Structure 1
């Protein structure tokens, strides 16, 4: 697939699933067969926010993601720390240098040991430029088993500019598509009620527009707040908007 064809396919993808499948296929053609993409809009201080609010896309094994993401290893991962402080692309050579120079904390060393056990040893990390102090996104590109970091660096020397561009465009497209964690998805009625709130309608207006009682509208809003794990309806509207769940066209 040429760069032009890839960009055309990505630009026209209507769903996150289709986009991700296309991106995996393209990155595998360069030797990166395992990817993990992460994005948060809830960064503050030393926190990246609730992991359930992250946008996480990956084709790593469940055994890997259960420990790295769910188990919280990512928080101590040296390349995650690098991504939070930098924009651009970085070779995992820095990890080998840190290990050789004994420059890792015990927590970072545990992440490195875990990755070695899972054959996640060579690759590149691309950190995307943020326009908000509270948002950050990055992707880790893991080379197929048997490839050395020297092999990966040689590929990057030849194709790195194109690979980085493709990941940056995929990231920008991801930000436009609806996303929700399985336990954070809204029903059609919950979404509709939030949309009317976002339009500035009163509870009485919404009840009339939806053909429901005010009590039923409030029930939908309460369930939306619970689904999104927020305290107020205003927060629910904001979080749903961040996840592109507002005013979504049904398939």
Structure 2
């Protein structure tokens, strides 16, 4: 069995997003890309990428860098994020210097590049994944280890790039099927069950009978589900729980 095939089988068998991420980060580090950010949003619009709290966000970057990049909103104006939003496939970060040379970067984008340089985020590749809906988008940024030049990263990509893209595509497709909680608050079994019945078109009275509860208790479970998911309506809760793969799951296999 080839090493690549063995790794892909391990990825697809990963029982949780955490297990998959640890495995994937270790593999990418073997190629020299030792810091990674994966992001996916179900809530894209023409003017926004959605609330960061609703992103699927996985990373092994230093928390101080992530606080700057995500917490302070630098990602909104980052040139490689802009590229990822409008393209599919892989792109060398040489793109940044080419854009700078032709005067295509804004002052804000230049500032973000300078901040990245101060955090040794200077060379690497971005992979933008094909959207699965009109409002979704996913991408991954592979940062080369400290001291590696973009020319060296490009040499690695020339030899192994097709395999790296394949591994990242499989990782992405697996991640979006695994249960996750963007806010860190998972639904209880009763909350999930109530939302599942709502998704099946049942009324509160129907759900009370099916679950052997009072209507007031069903309403309580739905209210707590809305609070856990940070939404205002039960319809929004059903949609968000479905996006997070928290509905119709088998107990004991949540990520």
**TM superposition score category, shorter chain reference:** over 0.9
* Residues 113-124 of structure 1: pairs in structure 2 closer than 5 A: 113-124=114-125
Displacement of 1:184: 4.3
Aligned to 1:185: 186
- Runs ≥4 in structure 1, deviation > 4 angstroms? none
Of the structure 1 ranges 228-237 and 140-149, higher mean CA displacement relative to structure 2 is found in 228-237
Aligned to 1:162: 163
Aligned to 1:223: 224
Aligned to 1:205: 206
Unaligned runs of 5+ in 2: none
User: Are the counterparts in 1 of residues 183 and 229 from structure 2 also a CA contact under 8 Å?
Assistant: no
Aligned to 1:64: 65
Aligned to 1:40: 41
User: Are the counterparts in 1 of residues 33 and 145 from structure 2 also a CA contact under 8 Å?
Assistant: yes
Of the structure 1 ranges 205-214 and 83-92, higher mean CA displacement relative to structure 2 is found in 205-214
Of the structure 1 ranges 182-191 and 77-86, higher mean CA displacement relative to structure 2 is found in 182-191
Give the secondary-structure state (helix, strand or coil) at the position aligned to 1:194. Answer: helix
Unaligned runs of 5+ in 1: none
Aligned to 2:6: 5
Give the secondary-structure state (helix, strand or coil) at the position aligned to 2:34. Answer: strand
What is the distance in 2 between the residues matched to 1:91 and 1:129? 18
Give the secondary-structure state (helix, strand or coil) at the position aligned to 2:35. Answer: strand
What is the distance in 2 between the residues matched to 1:131 and 1:209? 34
Displacement of 1:185: 2.5
Displacement of 1:199: 2.0
Note the aligned Cα RMSD (angstroms): 1.3
What is the distance in 2 between the residues matched to 1:104 and 1:98? 6
* Residues 128-147 of structure 1: pairs in structure 2 closer than 5 A: 128-147=129-148
Matching of residue 84 in structure 1 with residue 85 in structure 2: yes
- CA deviations 1:85-110 (Å, max 9, x no partner) are 00000000011223344432121112
User: Are the counterparts in 1 of residues 53 and 183 from structure 2 also a CA contact under 8 Å?
Assistant: no
Matching of residue 50 in structure 1 with residue 51 in structure 2: yes
- CA deviations 1:38-94 (Å, max 9, x no partner) are 000100111011111000000001001111011110000000000000000000001
The structure with higher relative contact order (CA 8 Å, sep 6+) is: 2
What is the distance in 1 between the residues matched to 2:46 and 2:230? 20
What is the distance in 2 between the residues matched to 1:138 and 1:234? 28
Of the structure 1 ranges 216-225 and 51-60, higher mean CA displacement relative to structure 2 is found in 216-225
What is the distance in 2 between the residues matched to 1:182 and 1:131? 23
- CA deviations 1:132-179 (Å, max 9, x no partner) are 210000000000001000000000000000000110111011111101
